[in-house]
Amino acid sequence: GVVDPDDRPDAAALAVMLDSVARQLDAPAPIPITPVLNLDARTPSAADPTEMGVTAAVPSVGAPAATAAVPVVGRKSRRNVGLVVGALALVAAIVMGALYVPILLKPEHDVPALKDDTLEQAGLELQPLKFKLASKEAYSDTIAEGQVISQSPNAGESLREDETVTVTVSKGPPPVPVPALKDLNEEAATAQLKQANLKVGAIERRYSEDIPKGTVIDWSPKDEARKFSEIAIALSNGPAPRTISDWRGKTFDEAKAAFEKVGLKAKRVEGYSDTYAPGQIISTSPGPGQKTERGSTVTVTVSIGSETVAVPNLTGRTVEEATATLQSEGLTVGGVFGPGGKNRRVFFTSPGQGQRVKRGTAVNLYVQ
């Protein structure tokens, strides 16, 4: 496997290590150097008549003085430099070996398959193998958020202990622009979102005096959302219903003005009332506390006073006949005054014939 970069020393650390090792080595043995010959001390050898004697050179008259010779580094000096370089290379090899041999001797294991795992699951799988775990993130349309999309090295490849397995974890689908939904109805908004790889989520219905019922008022989020996610929308529920107040005892004109102010219409009808004076409202429909839609009509019943009926002509009728006639007119029999007997006939009533009385009034019968 490849050596983890974290286990390698940098240049500065390597130089310190090399210097430390060099200080612990023994100094090298001295290198023999050929002595410089003293040519002026040599004399001819009598034993070798063929050897030419060395005669000191005599400078000629007027000649310039000879320049001193510059020493030249010979082959042995260059060989000394080579020995030093070789020693340093040997030390470096020893140090690098000491660093990398333990790594190369670590056990190898096959990398397990981590795809679709969560990061926590991947860590638990790598822990017994003594692998390190690194992660990065990426969007994915197919892999759920938080699950592994891919890994490096791949499953089945060999890796030494303490080396690193890098996984790419899904962030879920990428964000997409959310289309404008204002003034669309629910069906059109649903189609627009579907085309953008989004869908309708929660629907809220709000009353609105201006926006037609069923039309989109608002939506969230507006700029962008994760692909395939839900968008919450608010639809107009039309104008809020109007609650009818209690108008009994008030005039029709008062009620009409109040109704028109909130977008309602008023219709007047008249009725009898023993409770409310003529001109006062007896009732409304819908009644007090009930609700009605804006633009609808409220029926207002206005009193014309108590209902009255005329006492009918009962002269000459029997008590039984008079009783039946009074009941048919909404009246009752109060008392019967006069002699007894089956053939008694009415000759007088109180209230009298033709007098207008409230419905339900009791009429006294006088018989003979």
The verdict on residue 52 lying in a domain is no
Beta strands, E only, the chain:
108-110, 132-138, 148-152, 158-160, 164-170, 175-177, 199-206, 216-220, 224-226, 230-236, 242-243, 265-271, 281-285, 291-292, 297-303, 308-310, 332-337, 346-350, 356-358, 362-367
Residue 85 and residue 18 share a domain:
yes
Q: Is residue 99 part of a domain?
A: yes
Q: What is the pLDDT, as a whole number, of residue 236?
A: 98
Same domain, 94 and 27: yes
Q: Does 62 fall in a domain? A: no
Q: How far is CA 306 from CA 225, 274, 302, 309, in A?
A: 70, 5, 12, 10
Q: What pLDDT does residue 343 have? A: 84
What's residue 341's pLDDT? 81
Please identify, among 259, 286, 303, the residue that sits at the C-terminal boundary of a domain.
Answer: 303
Question: What predicted TM-score, i.e. pTM, was given to this entire model?
Answer: 0.53
Instruction: State how many domains the chain has.
Output: 5
Its sign, for the CA torsion 283, 286, 289, 293, is: negative
* Residue 57 is assigned to a structural domain of this protein: no
pLDDT in tens, the chain (368 residues): 445 555 555 555 555 555 555 556 555 555 454 444 444 444 444 444 434 343 343 344 344 444 444 444 455 556 666 677 677 877 666 756 555 555 567 999 999 999 999 999 999 999 999 999 999 999 999 999 999 999 999 999 999 999 999 999 999 999 999 999 999 999 999 999 999 999 999 999 999 999 999 999 999 999 999 999 999 999 999 999 999 999 999 999 999 999 999 999 999 999 999 999 999 999 999 999 999 999 999 999 999 999 999 999 999 999 999 999 999 999 999 999 999 888 899 999 999 999 999 999 999 999 99
Say what the pLDDT of residue 69 is.
43
Structural domain that includes position 205? 175-236
Say which CATH number the domain at 200 has.
Answer: 3.30.10.20
pLDDT for 221 equals 97
Is 94 within the bounds of a domain?
yes
**Is residue 24 located within the same domain as residue 85?**
yes
Query: Do 128 and 192 have their domain in common?
Result: no
- C-alpha distances in Å from residue 243, one per residue of 135, 249, 297: 62, 18, 13
